[in-house]
Amino acid sequence: MNDLWLIKIGEISLKKGNRAYFERMLKENIHKKVQRYTSETGVMAKVSSRRGRYYLETGIPEKDVIKILESTPGIVGFSRAYKVKKTLEDLAEISISIASECLSAGIGGRFKFEVRRTDKSLPLDSYGYARELGGVLLEALPELTVDVRNPDFIIKVELREAGYVYQMQKKGTGGLPVGTAGRGVLLLSGGIDSPVAGYLMSKRGLKLTAVHFHTPPYTSPEAHDKVVRLAAIIAPWCQGLTLYSVPFTECQLKINQSVHPSTTTLHTRSCMMQIAEHIAKKRRCAALVTGESLGQVASQTLESLAFTNGSVPIPVFRPLIGMDKEEIVVLARKIGTFETAIEPFEDCCTLFSPEKPVTRPDVMAERLVYEDIKGLDNLIEKAAEEALIYNFDELGKAVKN
Ligand code: ATP
Ligand code: MG
């Protein structure tokens, strides 16, 4: 049997002229995800929309539907819904069954009805339906009480072309549908921060490509594998993700030979940004995204950020800029990247970072030093060309190139 899910949008509904575009993108994103699932399992799924509401009719198991919808930006909430005839008997029957489920799940016995009636031809108004259905429920299940101020559960009834009854209101991730804000390149390290930065920008509608820099043999295959796994974990939030894995050793060694030891991290960052920008051009991306947060480490002071910012002509988005580590960790746990991110494999930045890094670089002077590094331009192009590509689909599964 197929279940019916009702999906609600938030910010999209505030859009005026181009609301239809945002709605179409969201529908397409949900459709692609469920289609990916159904093409693998043969289960049926149909997405439809009517007046700013979306309906998913499917045989996909509940836990998988929840996973799919929770990780789709643009959705603010969703519920398992029951479509019934608009008669009091039918509405009452399904309400009793929902309330019994709530009781046996131990949610508590205080309830209220919320009724929305758009079908004006019906014999009662919204309040009338709430009163009648409430009465039936109290009679059928005496352990229940009505509490309109502080209910343990709310049964929602919508009376439109059919009757829809639902209770479980799952929270979605909110934001805007992926792809509605253009395309960007995420600099993805193996740490806690950058996967969260990717999640936050996906939530603003940016379609991401990830780029990782690794420095073999100084960095291990395990460190690399960890980043590949992180990319797979965030792929559903990104509506699928391509990861470029860039061999960075030659650039890193060239920088280390050419600049003052206290400034290596700074120049390394600039170099990463420039390689990322090369890849951005190739992928038609118009912005970079990093997991930097103001003052977190020496390379993230105002002066250091001003320096790295100046290395590329496109905007660099830093969605974590005003967040502290605890706030970032909460999000990393929510999207499921935390446990992987804290695995103890060193990435290139940690290995090559100076003991005493500058915190307030002279931006102009360091720019001249950077531009004077002989042969770096060629190495940057070569590194971008030699990147290996990994693809993950909308459900986070690896796809063969
Ligand atoms: P994270 O926890 O994401 O590693 P961090 O606090 O350790 O961040 P840094 O190591 O200074 O900070 O890196 C700052 C940002 O630069 C990262 O969030 C990421 O966007 C980018 N970055 C750093 N190292 C790499 C790398 N090896 N590959 C790709 N991007 C990187
Ligand atoms: Mg890091």
pLDDT tens profile 34-50: 999 988 888 888 998 88
Mutational test site, ligand 1, from 194, 246, 390, max ligand atoms within 8 Å of CB: 194
Q: Is the pLDDT of residue 101 over 80?
A: yes
- 275 within a domain of the structure (yes/no): yes
Mean pLDDT of the chain: 93
Considering the domain architecture, whether residues 138 and 228 belong to the same structural domain is answered as no
Alpha-carbon dihedral 292, 250, 353, 235, rounded to 10 degrees? 30
Residues 164 and 238 in one domain: no
Which residues, in sequence order, are CB contacts of 121 under 8 Å at separation 6+?
A: none
| Residue 328 confidence class, pLDDT cut points 50, 70, 90 | very high
CA angle 20–26–30, rounded 5-degree value: 145
176 in any annotated domain: no
Supply the pLDDT for residue 108: 92
pLDDT confidence bin for 67, thresholds 50/70/90: very high
CB 15, CB 22: distance < 8 Å: yes
Question: Where among 142, 171, 200 does a domain terminate?
Answer: 171
Structure confidence at residue 348 (pLDDT)? 60
Dig out the tokens for 141 from the structure: 């299940």
Atom of ligand 1 nearest to the CA of 214: 27
Q: Is the minimum distance from the CB of 393 to ligand 1 under 6 angstroms?
A: no
> Using only C-alpha atoms, what is the Rg of the chain?
26
User: Of 171, 206, 223, which closes a domain?
Assistant: 171
- Residue 86's domain is classified under what CATH number? 3.30.2130.30
Greatest mean pLDDT among 31-45, 167-181, 296-310, 385-399 lies in: 385-399
Q: Residue 177: inside a domain, yes or no? A: no
Find out whether the peptide bond into 151 is cis, omega within 30 degrees of 0: no
Residue 172's pLDDT band, with cuts at 50, 70 and 90, is: very high
**Does the beta carbon of 347 sit less than 6 angstroms from any atom of ligand 1?**
yes
For residue 289, the ligand 1 atom closest to its alpha carbon is 20
| pLDDT value at 194 more than 90 | yes
Distance (Å) from CA 210 to ligand 1 centroid: 12
Q: Please provide the size of the chain in residues.
A: 401
Question: What pLDDT score does 40 carry?
Answer: 80
Whose Cα sits closest to atom 16 in ligand 1?
290
For ligand 1, is residue 194 a contact (CB within 6 Å)? Answer: yes
pLDDT digits (tens, 9 = 90+) for 114-165: 999 999 999 999 999 999 999 999 999 999 999 999 999 999 999 988 999 9
Cα–Cα distances in angstroms (integers) from residue 218 to residues 23, 232, 344, 348, 351, in the given order: 47, 24, 15, 7, 8
Whether the per-residue pLDDT at 287 is higher than 70: the answer is yes
Q: Is the CB of 164 under 6 A from ligand 1?
A: no
Domain hosting residue 245, numbered range: 183-399
**Greater model confidence, 351 or 81:** 81
pLDDT of residue 351: 62
Domain-located, residue 178: no
Residue among 187, 266, 278, 329 whose CB has most ligand 1 atoms within 8 A, to mutate: 187
Q: Does residue 86 line the site of ligand 1, with CB under 6 A?
A: no
- Model pLDDT, residue 42: 81
Nearest to 52 by CA among 112, 8, 109, 100: 8
Model pTM score: 0.91
Tokens 């931006």 belong to: 363
Instruction: Give 300's pLDDT tier (boundaries 50, 70, 90).
Output: confident
Report pLDDT for 18: 87
- Residues 309 and 274 sit within 8 Å (Cβ to Cβ): no
Distance, CA 314 to ligand 2 centroid (Å)? 22
Does 247 lie in the same domain as 120? Answer: no
Q: Which of 282, 290, 77 is nearest to 201 (CA)?
A: 290
Q: Are both 146 and 36 inside the same structural domain? A: yes
Residue 78 confidence (pLDDT) above 80: yes
Q: What is the pLDDT at residue 51?
A: 76
Tens-digit pLDDT profile for residues 338-350? 999 999 877 665 6
When pLDDT is averaged across residues 299-320 and rounded to a whole number, the result is 93
Question: 140, 171, 202 — which closes off a domain?
Answer: 171
Residues 210 and 115 reside in one and the same domain = no
- CA quadruple 288, 290, 296, 299: dihedral sign: negative
The Cα 355–Cα 262 span in angstroms is 7
Residues 254, 311, single domain; the answer is yes
Taking CA atoms only, the protein residue closest to ligand 1 atom 18 is 291
Mark whether 208 and 70 lie in a shared domain: no
Is 302 in the same domain as 211? yes
Whether residue 341 sits in one domain with residue 253? yes
The percent of residues in the chain predicted with pLDDT above 70, rounded, is 98
**CB of 192 shorter than 6 A to ligand 1:** yes
360-381, pLDDT tens digit by residue? 989 899 999 999 999 999 999 9
In this structure, are 153 and 242 located in the same domain? no
Beta strands in 131-240, from DSSP E residues, in sequence order: 145-146, 153-159, 163-166, 170-171, 183-187, 207-214
The H or E element spanning position 398 is strand 398-399
The answer to whether the CB of 7 is under 6 A from ligand 1 is no
CA distances from 227 to 212, 224, 236, 345 (A): 8, 5, 15, 10
Strand partners for 3: 58
* Residue 9 and residue 151 share a domain: yes
Atom of ligand 1 nearest to the CA of 296: 6
pLDDT band at 299 (very low <50, low <70, confident <90, very high): confident
Task: Indicate if 8 and 129 belong to the same structural domain.
Answer: yes
- Mean pLDDT value of segment 214-242: 96
243 lines ligand 1 (CB under 6 A): no
Helix 363-371 with 264-282: angle, nearest 10 deg? 70
Number of domains within the chain:
2
Mean pLDDT of 11-35: 89
